[in-house]
Amino acid sequence: MKDIFDKDHEAFGPNNSGLLDLRFGNADFLANYWLRYDPKSPRFLYGDTNLGYAHAFPNADLKQVILALHDRIKNAVTKDRHVVVGVGASQVLQAALYAAKRRGTRHVIARAPYFPRFRHFSEIVGLQFNADTALLRDLEIVSIPNNPDNSFVKPQIKNYIADCCYNWPQYKDVELRDDDVMVFSLSKATGHASTRIGWALVKDAAFAEDMMKYIEVQSCGVSVEALGVTKQILTNQSQIDNSFTIFKNGSDKLKNRWEKIRLAFSGLAGVQLLNDDGMFLWGKTDGDSTDYFKNLGILSVNGDYFGMNDRNHFRLNIGTDVDSFLKLIEIINAKKRATTKS
């Protein structure tokens, strides 16, 4: 049955009839002003590249660049995949949940510890998340590798969305994923989180089209400036020598940080580390972890937020800026010295 997103797409979706298209509200009568106003201004800012709505959707070039990067990194099968681009993995996940809902999904599950916004995204599109009844399991979201603990987990049911945001060499040796719906983000791939670009590789054409319908209505596409920056960054990373990529650089850096982490936390009483790679340190304190770290001058996130029903588990960002990382090591070392002394 057609829903509001279909009807919108029918009224405003792409049209190849060749007829004069006066359906939209693009204010392109303003274009000449911007082109004439200041020829010295970067065209990117004042030109005609961001007037109207048409540029707010990824073109074939960008999709090609995305696929080429995956082929290089070998973290996703790209053959016969449709690329859907949205405002961060956040919007892309919502779009995928909407497309699943159209196919009958009503209940979404994720196994703890899980990225907490899976609940929010599910509820935004009108789905129930982690319903109490074990039977209510239409769709799973699984992070590969998992946020917060960086483990590779297998989906429990057949129908699932693969959040592959951390499936880049910085965080773990990548898996060549071949899932039906694989979600990635520029944020975790290259660090450019504030550009707000995410994408999905999708096997089924109709599923991908439904995702696009959702993005068309929810945000009317994606910032053209963000799309342009993304294309430049990913093109660059597809072309330079392997040993100079952000992936190699980031991988070396995080490995080095984890050595420092293990050394610092080794022998620290009352704190257990539960992983040894990835963006996050995932561990457990004897008591309330949030209180424990707050007493040390550190803000952390506890297990409750990741669906663990406890405050002992904690997540700390190891991939933060260098000053914050050094401060963390300094604090932990000072704590150990104080403990040993007393």
User: Where in 205-244 is the site for a copy of itself (CB under 8 A)?
Assistant: 217-226, 228-229, 232-233, 236, 244
* Spatial separation of the C-alpha atoms in residues 267 and 39, rounded to whole Å: 64
Among 1, 2, 11, 80, binds a copy of itself (CB under 8 A): 11
Does 317 participate in binding a copy of itself (rule CB under 8 A)? yes
Figure out which of the listed residues 58, 250, 283, 303 binds a copy of itself, where binding follows CB under 8 A.
250
Q: In the sheet where 107-109 sits, what is the strand order?
A: 82-86, 198-202, 181-185, 160-163, 139-143, 107-109, 128-129
Please report how close the Cβ of residue 80 comes to a copy of itself at its closest, in angstroms: 29
Contact between 112 and a copy of itself per CB under 8 A? no
- Using DSSP's 3-state secondary structure scheme, residue 281 falls into strand
Residues 164-193 as x/- pattern, contact with a copy of itself by CB under 8 A: ------x----------------xx-xxxx
* Element spanning 317, H or E: strand 313-317
CB of 223 to a copy of itself, least distance (A): 4
The C-alpha angle 185, 85, 82, rounded to 5 degrees, equals: 110
- Give me 234's structure tokens: 């990913």
Work out which of 14, 27, 157, 266 binds a copy of itself, going by CB under 8 A.
27
Q: Which CB atom, from 70 or from 119, has the smaller least distance to a copy of itself?
A: 119
Interface region with a copy of itself, contact rule CB under 8 A, candidates 65-73, 176-184, 260-268, 311-319:
311-319
- Is position 22 an interface residue for a copy of itself (rule: CB under 8 A)? yes
* Among residues 111, 117, 260, 284, the one that binds a copy of itself under rule CB under 8 A: 117
- How many residues sit in the footprint of a copy of itself (CB under 8 A)? 104
Determine which residue in the list 72, 107, 111, 116 makes contact with a copy of itself, applying CB under 8 A.
116
Return the residue matching tokens 């509200």.
25
- Based on the shown chain and the rule CB under 8 A, indicate whether residue 114 belongs to the binding site for a copy of itself: no
106 is an interface residue for a copy of itself by CB under 8 A: no
Q: What element of type H or E holds 85?
A: strand 82-86
Nearer to a copy of itself by C-beta: 77 or 308? 308
Cβ atoms within 10 Å, residue 23: 11
Report the distance separating Cα 107 and Cα 93, nearest Å.
15
Task: Pick the closest to residue 51 from 40, 35, 36 (CA basis).
Answer: 35
Q: Is 130 in the site for a copy of itself (CB under 8 A)?
A: no
Return d(Cα 167, Cα 165) in angstroms, integer. Answer: 6
At residue 196, φ and ψ (nearest 5 deg) are 60, 60
Residues 260 to 279 in contact with a copy of itself, rule: CB under 8 A: 279
3-state DSSP assignment of residue 224: helix
The distance of closest approach from Cβ of residue 203 to a copy of itself in the complex, given in angstroms and rounded to an integer, is 25
Q: Which amino acid is at 305?
A: Y
85 in contact with a copy of itself (CB under 8 A): no
